[in-house]
């Protein structure tokens, strides 16, 4: 006799804060999380590109997620981190205010984010995830980094 239950697909999501917003990315894309270190500026790069860092001999572009997501700029604190992600063809660093935790999130608990306009940041948001009372903006790294990778 076949079961009618639908198998839930769970993702492990690294959650972090950007301003007052909780965001997350698939842990499978995360290579490591490091303290914020000084980045070398890149001429003519967009304002949200904080520069590049040398990570054990590899040059890694660093994206300030506050700037990329249109939030007010703030000084880095002891809680600020760079989440180093592997996009498959290169590494990139994402500066976040603080890393919170790793959660399991069923794909059924992620709702699509409606596109408001062409210039909206919703184009790099995979959806909004619900975990108990938390709402987590799940980012789509491929879309978030596409412009940055073309420049760096």
Adjacent-strand bridge partners of 32:
84
Taking alpha carbons only, the member of 17, 5, 27, 16 closest to residue 105 is 27
Establish how many alpha carbons lie within 13 A of residue 73's alpha carbon, considering only the half-sphere containing its beta carbon.
7
Whether residue 113 has pLDDT greater than 80: no
User: In terms of DSSP H, where are the helices of 1-152?
Assistant: 65-68, 141-151
Structure tokens at 127: 């959806």
Whether residue 18 has pLDDT greater than 70: yes
**Residue recorded with tokens 């498959």:** 88
Q: How would DSSP label each residue in 110-139?
A: EEPPPP-STT-GGGGEEEEEEETTEEEEEE
Give the helix/strand (H/E) hosting 124: none
Residue 4's pLDDT band (cuts 50, 70, 90): very low
Mean pLDDT of the region 55-68: 93
Cβ–Cβ < 8 Å for 19, 72: yes
Taking alpha carbons only, the member of 40, 29, 43, 28 closest to residue 145 is 29
Give the helix/strand (H/E) hosting 33: strand 30-35
Give every CB contact of residue 34 below 8 A, 6+ residues apart in sequence: 55, 81, 82, 84, 93
CATH 2.40.50.180 assigned to 10-151:
yes
Residue 135's pLDDT band (cuts 50, 70, 90): very high
pTM of the full structure: 0.86
Cβ–Cβ < 8 Å for 63, 95: yes
């Amino acid at each position: 006799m076949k079961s009618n239950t639908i198998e839930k697909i769970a993702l492990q999501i690294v959650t972090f804060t950007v301003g007052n917003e909780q965001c997350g990315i698939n842990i499978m894309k995360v290579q490591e999380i490091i303290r914020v270190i000084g980045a070398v500026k890149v001429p003519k790069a967009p304002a949200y590109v904080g520069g590049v860092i040398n990570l054990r001999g590899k040059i890694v572009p660093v994206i300030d997620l506050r700037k990329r997501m249109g939030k007010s700029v703030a000084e880095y604190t002891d809680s600020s981190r760079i989440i180093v992600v592997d996009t498959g063809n290169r590494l990139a660093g994402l500066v976040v205010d603080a890393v919170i935790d790793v959660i399991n999130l069923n794909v059924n608990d992620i709702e699509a984010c409606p596109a408001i306009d062409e210039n909206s940041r919703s184009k790099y948001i995979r959806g909004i995830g619900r975990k108990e009372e938390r709402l987590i903006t799940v980012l789509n790294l491929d879309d978030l980094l596409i412009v940055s990778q073309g420049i760096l």
